[in-house]
Amino acid sequence: MSCLSSIRVRAVLVPLLFLVGAGTSAGAGEHARTGKQEPDLADLVTRSTRDLLNPVLDSLKAHSRTDAKLTALLARVQLNTLSAPHPHTGPNAVAEEVKGQPSVVLDLVFLEEITRVSGLAGLGITQTERANEVVRLVMREYESRVAAAAKTRRLPRFGYVLSHLDEQKALRDVATRLTAEVMLSTVAWAVLHEMGHHVLGHLSASPSTLADSRQWEKDADTWAFRRMADLGYHVYYLHWFFMAREALEDVALRHGMIPTEAESSHPSYASRRQLLESLYDVERAAPVRMLAFIGMGWNENGTPQPVEVWLARYPDKDGHIAASIVSGSASSLNVFEWVDGKAHIYGRGAGVATEIVIHDPDKIRSRVSIRYHNLRDDSKQQVEVRWIQTNLAWARYLKIGDLSVHRALDNPLGTVLREALRDAGVDAETSAMVIREFDSFFRTLRMTLIRYAREGEFPQEAGDVLGEFGDRMRKALGPANSEKLGAALLANPTLLLMMETLFKHKP
């Protein structure tokens, strides 16, 4: 990272893995092998600014209203992606003043480097035997390339290929998602680090020694780390990026390809990792309202698959959660509740019932117990695993769990009902009464679903609850309003999506 005053780059036509949703390699060679076309450079610049950089700035603006100095700076700052690196510093991010306007610039080569190193970190986070084997293979290949390049004094670019995991699709899918998490958190750090240079006044003078320069960089890091935590970014993923970069730096140092820390204007990645560890317990979750976990599960045929669990961070007054979604087996019905600070997820498919218990949901790597009950032969199995909490600060930009995060913080069906009452033109007094009745109904229905998930008694009881609620609603609304509300509900796109997503299982 640097606060140099300018950037000039040669164009690089390299796709940004995970920014554009690719799931193979980060290198141009992989595209040549697969026959995929390289995206247009101008399009990459536009998308990287829109999808990676602007969200960081937007979230910082939303959380800085009490800091007058920072608010004034944010009103003026420009955030850009450029297409080529500085000829003397290589790929980098910079803070600079352009005609008196504060700017933060990341070049595409630097973003591609983040992507490649994030791939190594994403594999490491899974901490599975196969992933660790791939990491060792990739590091051995890199070591041999660095040793061969030592004579030319040109450090080779690091690369990795996820195709090593082609035979294990579930592990590859999880590693891909975790790589994206590392990349996005690292880009947030990069942007905020350069913002730190502006906030701390580093552009108004120059450090007199290398030690002073390293201290300025550490100060900008400290500012960035604290802002990341404030904004809900998981520094856990950045910590893994630093560890991956540290491993690559160790290889380059052993072969004399980069200067030692004492000879550099920037701290080593080992020092950056240690600074982050001194400020935060990197295993602890960020202060967000929703939790999202990704892990390895099994479908009813015993095939491994990635499973995502989304739930509200805090239970409601009844001790249950207010929103829930599981992405996994399409044939399962899933219900959540909180018990003694643990999150319980009950699932029931055609041939198997499951209970997933997240024991420590405030930790990034949470211990999880999974109990399987095979309904066909009545056999039972229990496994202990660790799931990884994903970065919800980026959820709306990744378009993951949109229904959970943005429509279901209080109650997804309640949101639908309020919208339908408004669209049907029902008066405020009647609407308030309907919502009160619905809240009572929903609590009863939720308990019914939990009993079904545990015990299998669902259809008749749930039908009775729903029928009783319908009778009360028709009486409260009257015939005309009931007809209008029914039409509004049937036209509500959120309800249709929920019916498709949450109620696929037919008991």
Together in a domain, 437 and 356: no
In a domain, 158, yes or no: yes
* CA separation for the pair 243, 233 (Å, rounded): 18
Same domain, 101 and 240: yes
| Residues 420 and 449 placed together within one structural domain of the fold | yes
Residues 375 and 415 in one domain: no
Could you identify the residue written with the tokens 């308990």? 447
What six digits make up the tokens of 459?
């259809």
Contact in structure between 293 and 363 (CB atoms under 8 Å) = no
- 347 located within any domain: yes
Backbone angles phi, psi at 316, to 5 degrees: -80, -175
Do 327 and 424 reside in the same domain of the chain?
no
- 507 is a domain residue: no
Residues 425 and 466 in one domain: yes
Per-residue pLDDT of the chain (507 residues), as tens digits, is 544 322 222 122 122 222 222 222 223 333 333 344 445 667 777 777 777 777 778 777 877 777 888 888 888 888 777 776 655 556 788 888 877 888 888 888 888 889 889 999 999 998 888 888 889 989 999 999 999 998 888 888 887 766 667 778 888 888 888 888 898 889 889 989 999 999 999 988 889 999 999 999 999 999 999 988 888 788 999 999 999 999 999 999 999 999 999 999 999 999 999 999 999 999 988 776 667 788 776 665 667 777 777 776 666 555 555 445 554 444 455 677 778 888 888 777 667 778 889 998 889 999 999 888 887 888 888 888 888 888 765 544 433 333 333 333 345 567 678 888 888 888 888 888 888 887 777 667 667 767 766 665 555 666 677 677 778 888 888 888 888 888 888 777 656 655 554 444 333
Question: Are 375 and 425 within one domain?
Answer: no
The dihedral of CA 417, 423, 424, 428: what is its sign?
A: positive
Query: Are 130 and 190 found together in one domain?
Result: yes
Picking from 295, 400, 305, the residue whose alpha carbon sits closest to that of residue 357 is 295
User: Are 215 and 163 within 8 A, CB to CB?
Assistant: no
Dihedral over alpha carbons 224, 392, 21, 51 (to 10 degrees): -50
In a domain, 183, yes or no: yes
On whether residue 4 sits in a domain, the answer given is: no
Same domain, 53 and 150: yes
Please say which residue of 361, 391, 421 terminates a domain. 391
- DSSP lists the bridge partners of residue 305 as 297
The phi, psi pair for 81, rounded to 5°, reads -110, 135
Instruction: Indicate the residue among 279, 313, 330 that finishes a domain.
Output: 279
Enumerate residues 6+ apart whose C-beta is below 8 A from 206.
Answer: none
Structural domain contains residue 3: no
Q: Sheet of 324-327: strands edge to edge?
A: 324-327, 304-312, 290-298, 380-389, 365-374, 352-358, 342-348, 333-339
Instruction: Provide the token pair at 486.
Output: 């029914």
Report CA 113 to chain centroid distance, whole Å.
19
The model's pTM is 0.75
Residue 309 lies in domain: 290-391
- My answer on whether 69 and 139 are in the same domain is yes
Longest dimension (CA), the chain: 86
What distances in angstroms separate CA 174 from CA 15, 283, 327, one per listed residue? 21, 19, 13
The DSSP element (H or E) to which 108 belongs, if any, is: helix 108-126
Domain end point (choices 327, 361, 391): 391
422 domain residue, yes or no: yes
Residue type, 247: A
Give the pair of three-digit tokens for residue 407. 């429509």
Residues 476 and 328 in one domain: no
Do 386 and 327 reside in the same domain of the chain?
A: yes
Domain count within the chain: 3
Angle, CA of 66, 69 and 71, to the nearest 5° = 60
Evaluate whether residue 405 is within a structural domain: no
**What is the C-alpha separation between 92 and 101, in angstroms, rounded?**
20
